[in-house]
Amino acid sequence: MRRADSLRLVTLMVLGAALVVVFLVALGLGPIHVPVEGTAASLARLVTGRSVGTGTDGLIGAVRLPRVLVAVLVGAALGVAGAAMQTIFHNPLAEPGITGVSSGAALVAVLLIVTGLAKQPWMLPIGAFFGAMLVVTLIQAIGLGSAGVSSAPLLLVGIALNAFLGAVISAVIVNAKQAEQARSALFWLNGDLTGRTMADVRIAVLPILAGIAGVLWNVRELNLLGLGDATAQTAGLDVRRAKLRIIAAAALATAGGVAITGIIAFVGLAVPHLVRLLWGDDHRFVVPASALMAAIFLVVADTCARMMFSPVVLQTGTVTALVGAPFLLFLVLRRARSER
């Protein structure tokens, strides 16, 4: 094994260990503080089926564990999807929602909330997931019908879908019959992990893991695409089909996350770009490192959202935007300077 590969493997192991530490600390933090050793003991009892279901075990198992698990899953999904999208579109400002997947989920979710059909706990995430997948199907159909290999048509399709679906969402919210329904819809659109349950984890885990696996399976193709479409095609890669395959996998992971948390911005934008700045562009490392770093980032952001201004609780999407927006500004200014 080459020295560079060894260093990257060690880095991934360190990131994995950091995620475990952050995971345990986040489970223990709250109005009722639980030490790390107490948290680990409760988890051990939950895994072995010896949990008493009350006290610390009930707090960890029923309230905090689902929320932190969702943060890990959704963070990893957004990180991997962002890494893939930035390479597909050859744009460091690309992020998972650029294809319109998040807007597709949002439209169905808002419709369910405003019409009162979201009262069933499983209805909202499942409806949002299918809304996202309808957009994926539409993008695939448009992409497969295109003769070219350029990313521009797919990027324009995503921008157009986002604009159109955003307008419909605004119209639905403005015409909501009850103010509480409009407020709930706006709350969902900003992204939050409050009230997540193990049922949400079960809904999200399969599409997220399948999407991440799909992107990981195509890291060689991503490395070729990173060299440019023309170079990748010269190397024998079917660029159009490779792009659509990777977009579908990234969109699946995004859909699984957005369906249960709402739209959480900037995670998929900031983290993959930071990974590239620190460790280069080899997607054999960029993809798993983005998954781990984004999971850590979202767990920390969610913990800050519920603890930083206690008893006032911020939405998770608010915290990620407060961190991500300045980073986006930094990227834009950095790119402007490099093009002078």
Whose CA is closest to 335, among 21, 90, 67?
90
What is the rounded CA–CA span in Å between residue 204 and residue 252? 10
At residue 30, does pLDDT exceed 70? yes
Structure tokens at 158: 């995503």
Selection from 6, 8, 4 nearest residue 275 by Cα: 8
Rounded to the nearest 10 degrees, the angle between the axes of helix 152-174 and helix 101-115 is 10
Please tell me what DSSP assigns to residue 54: S
DSSP at 118: G
Q: Is the peptide bond before 153 cis (omega within 30 degrees of 0)?
A: no
Cα–Cα dist 301/174, whole Å: 30
Q: How many CB atoms lie within 10 A of CB 59?
A: 19
Q: Taking the model in full, what pTM does it have?
A: 0.87
300-330 residue pLDDT tens = 999 988 887 767 677 888 888 888 778 777 7
Model pLDDT for residues 188-242, shown as the tens digit of each residue: 788 888 888 888 898 889 999 999 999 999 999 999 998 888 888 888 888 888 8
pLDDT of residue 336: 66
Percent of the chain with pLDDT over 70: 91
- Whether residue 190 contacts residue 125, with contact meaning beta carbons closer than 8 Å, is answered with no
**Interacting residues of 52 by C-beta distance below 8 A, sequence separation 6+:** 45, 58
Provide the phi-psi class of 33: left if phi over 0, else alpha when psi is between -120 and 50, else beta. beta
Model confidence over 129-153: pLDDT tens digits?
A: 888 888 877 776 776 555 444 555 6
Kindly tell me if the per-residue pLDDT of 119 is higher than 80.
no
**Other beta carbons within 10 Å of 256:** 29
Domains defined for the chain, CATH in brackets: 3-338 (1.10.3470.10)
**Crossing angle of helices 198-217/65-88, nearest 10°?**
30
pLDDT band at 16 (very low <50, low <70, confident <90, very high): very high
Mean pLDDT of the region 85-90: 86
Indicate the residue type of 119.
K
